[in-house]
Amino acid sequence: MPPHTPRRAVIEAAAAAREAGADLIVTIGGGSVTDGAKAVQLCLANDVSTVEGIDSIRAVRGVSPPMNAPIVRQISVPTTIAGGEFSAIAGVTNLRKRAKEMLKHELLMPRAVILDPAITVHTPEWLFLSTGIRAVDHCVEGLCSREAHPYADAQALKGLSMLAEGLPRVKADGRDLDGRMDCQIGTWLSAGPLASGVPMGASHGIGYVLGAAHGVPHGYTSCVMLPAVLRWNKPVNADRQALAVAAMGHPGADAGDVLDDFVRKLGGLFRPRLAPPW
């Protein structure tokens, strides 16, 4: 499954599942693999076998068309920590439009997610850490949203605290399985705002565009965009930003500066620029 889950790869995976007579899909890998299997579930349930056919199951303005519910379900073993395995949404890239499109159904969330810190030791450092910043982005934008609420806040604050402590530990010692487990649990909690109806902000929105149009990994866009978006939005949500930096151990500090410094101190998050996978 190429990065950003292109439509063609989804159709090919669905064809392989049909040929195998699959009654369960198990994914081991990052967010693109996880989203790919979510999309395959809908393709199998709704007889979608062409790239164009995905139009019949994609959400428009966040609303899904009538469709059959998935029957062949998914178990996810994530090797990165962006958190897509904890949502009922899949992002699939329409290469013709160079746009990331949403597939959405309440049963798309995997039936089980197996968090195993040992398997993430094999994930390249840049990928593990940068997807960790994506999870941080989930927490921070959930907290800073105008639609935030106490239930989501509680999860985002705890998740952000665990990620802020765990990611530097993994950077310092790649074999620190307890640190990796804290990052995985923090990522699970980071999905709380989105799962409970809190929309993400401009860092995510810009990331979707850059990913689909230019193949930029979402972890990279969060590293660059989140500090900038916090600075831009500070005049209207400084009180909410204060909650985020307090959870990261820097009460009273500027949120944009704290996040920028956090990313820089992790260091080595960026591999050499690659061309889009398509």
Do 243 and 193 fall within a single domain?
yes
In the chain, the percentage of residues whose pLDDT exceeds 70 is 97
The answer to whether residues 86 and 134 belong to one domain is no
Query: Both 80 and 166 in a single domain?
Result: no
Domain match, 150 and 104 both: no
Measure Cα distances from 26 to 41, 76, 122, 190, 245 in Å: 11, 6, 18, 23, 37
* Coil vs helix vs strand at 53: helix
Question: Which domain covers residue 28, as residue numbers?
Answer: 7-113
- Residue 221 CA to residue 131 CA, distance in Å, equals 10
What pLDDT does 85 receive? 96
Token pair of 65, please?
């068309």
Split into its structural domains, the chain has a count of 2
25, 106: one domain: yes
Model confidence pLDDT, tens digit, residues 5-55? 999 999 999 999 999 999 999 999 999 999 999 999 999 999 999 999 999
User: How large is the average pLDDT for residues 145-172?
Assistant: 98
**pLDDT band at residue 62, thresholds of 50, 70 and 90?**
confident
Q: Which of 94, 113, 132 is the last residue of a domain?
A: 113
Of all residues in the chain, what percent are helix, strand and coil, respectively (each to 5)? Answer: 55, 10, 30
Using alpha carbons, list the distances in angstroms from residue 85 to 15, 38, 46, 91. 22, 9, 22, 12
Same domain (yes/no): 131, 255: yes
Report pLDDT digits (tens) over 226-264.
999 999 999 999 999 999 999 999 999 999 999 999 999
Q: With 70 as the cut, is the pLDDT of residue 278 above it?
A: no
Q: Is residue 207 part of a domain?
A: yes
Position 270 pLDDT exceeds 90: no
Of 86, 113, 140, which residue sits at a domain end? 113
Q: Are 98 and 193 within one domain?
A: no
In this structure, what DSSP letter does residue 65 have?
A: P
24 φ, ψ (degrees, to nearest 5): -160, 145
Amino acid identity, position 110: P
User: Is 224 in the same domain as 134?
Assistant: yes
